[in-house]
Structure 1
Amino acid sequence: MKIEKTIRDAFSDQLVINERVKVQVESGRNLFDENWHFVSRLKSDESFALKVEAGLCDENLVIDDFYACTWVVRNSSEIAKATKIVEDNFDVVARRPLASDKTTNRPTDFQFDDLRMYVRLKPGYAGSTEIHSVIFEIQIKTFLQHAWGIATHDLTYKTDEVSWARFRVASQIRAMLEHAELSIERFESLAGSQIIAKEFDDFVGIHEIIVQLRSRFVPAALPKDLQRLAKVIGSALRTLGVTVEQCMKYLDEESNIGRGVNELNLSPYSIVIQAVLARHSFKVADLLSKAAKSRYFRPIRLSKSVNVPASLNSLVPKVITTF
């Protein structure tokens, strides 16, 4: 694209100072939640020229989004938190939309209206006072909004083909994602709806194992992902033909004599299974027969540190494998 000299010169001037702003902004990324996603960009000369020629600049050909960055939060409930961080650490000049509870879109419209805040660096940021006058854009959006933007932007905005149908499809996708966002925000209340508030035996068992583990182990001994631990324990108990109630009884018996939860060198999984192996009266022949007949049978994996009673040695490695 041919670009007039006046615009090229204005672009070059703004590129230099906005590169310095970019460095300062991105040095403070630790202000935000580590689970959020961050992207940024500087305007290209072509995009800058088109914006200037559209009149979207001031009398000095300065635009307010030469540098722009986006913080992508997990869901809509975190937008307010991100907004507060921006307000506390930057000088907010303007925002669009003007308020989170106001919109210019009709209820039948599904256009781009993600939160955009136009800000300046506060004096506390390093560098000359010149960079503190530069206005730049911070967008705050959810992962679903971000995905919609990535998937549809070049298909609808940066294309030679102007098509009502293309924009219609993009809007339909946006509407579906907004419905998904609403479902996420109201997750707990929707999960309590009578339509889907049903019990599933596998989940009931997993929940029961989690409750029982929490009541016996100190929090530091348990993983953050308790659901996965409970699933692995549940699978092992099904293989061994032991109920959750029996399992916890055995664990308590082992704990009462100084083993069980008092073990220092075993994981919670190993402690639980070791207690079952030590206390349960197994029908070894039945377990071996089950392992031989079922093509979907999955042996229990155990650390070699787990004490397997000599009476159960015949289960290794058909029912129990060690690592």
Structure 2
Amino acid sequence: MSTSSIRTRRVPTDRLTVGVTDIRDEGEPVVFVHGNVSSATFWRTTLPLLPERYRPLAPDLRGFGDTDPLPIDATRGLRDHADDLAALLAALGLDRVHLVGWSMGGGVVLQYLCDRPAAVRSVTLVNPVSPYGFGGTQGVDGTLNSEDGAGSGGGTANPEFVTRLAKGDRGEDSPLSPRSVLANCYVKPPLRPEHEDEYVESMLTTRTGDEHYPGDSVASSAWPGVAPGTRGVLNCLSPLVFRVDELHLLDPKPPVLWIRGEDDVIVSDTSLFDLAHLGSIGAVPGWDGTPAQPMVAQTRHVLDRYASAGGTVREVAVPGAGHAVHLERPEEFGAALLEVLSA
């Protein structure tokens, strides 16, 4: 099936109106949740890969794509997004679904799983954010570097990237333009993804500011001098408010697939988006020795406990792929996904 069969629409729910990309109205529902600074557009080549027995659909999260840009209450962690997803599925009359989450979307999926385990058939995590959020922790158990969450939240975003995003920069004259970030960070160079222009347009749908991306921040006495605020996207990923390390206590425990590119530079034990790692290599001044967040090791720690408690977990590490393994290696991704869907 080609991408020409894909449709987009806006679905009213009791929380907000959600932009949805899908193909058909029948079959086992498989819900694809996109990551930060993107939209459902990043799933357009994936949806047609599923056989007729499945009903693939991809919503836009609030503040991205065609979904209402309601403010994000970061004190709830990723629950605004998870509750939005629940409202959409209720509006569509879908009760038990397969969930696929990429990057930040992996965190949304994990939060949904924690809150509604009986409503989930399977979980697929694609280069997911750590179960202990993004930034500000150390060790496999997500120990805070500072009580105020310093090193995470809205103040950690690169201001030039935010400015270029807000201005709708479609060029490539700066390493901090959205197109350059897509080419150098979302995928592993030298790959340039097919439909690159569409992905850039998707990134540019990101609403910016304190209520959205990156969110507000506060000063901190701890290195690197910024701590999370209470609004916006990066703050809802702060380890102060997003910690899903009790998966092993869930009942029931749907099967989990964790698939990732081995050369991911965004979600990594040496992430180029983690100020602690950047400090260690001299890219952020004044580094005080704060260790980098071991994002992959943290995910493995939480999923190993899930498996030890009776859950089924499969890890697939794809050599030579970056942060968007579903775009870079669609055949390998599709094969692994179909295996967990039919488990």
> Shorter-normalised TM-score: what interval?
under 0.3
Q: Which has the higher strand share?
A: 2
- TM-score with structure 2 setting the length: 0.18
Q: Which has the higher helix share?
A: 1
Higher gyration radius (CA): 1
Greater RCO structure (CA 8 Å; 6+ sep): 2
- TM-score with structure 1 setting the length: 0.19
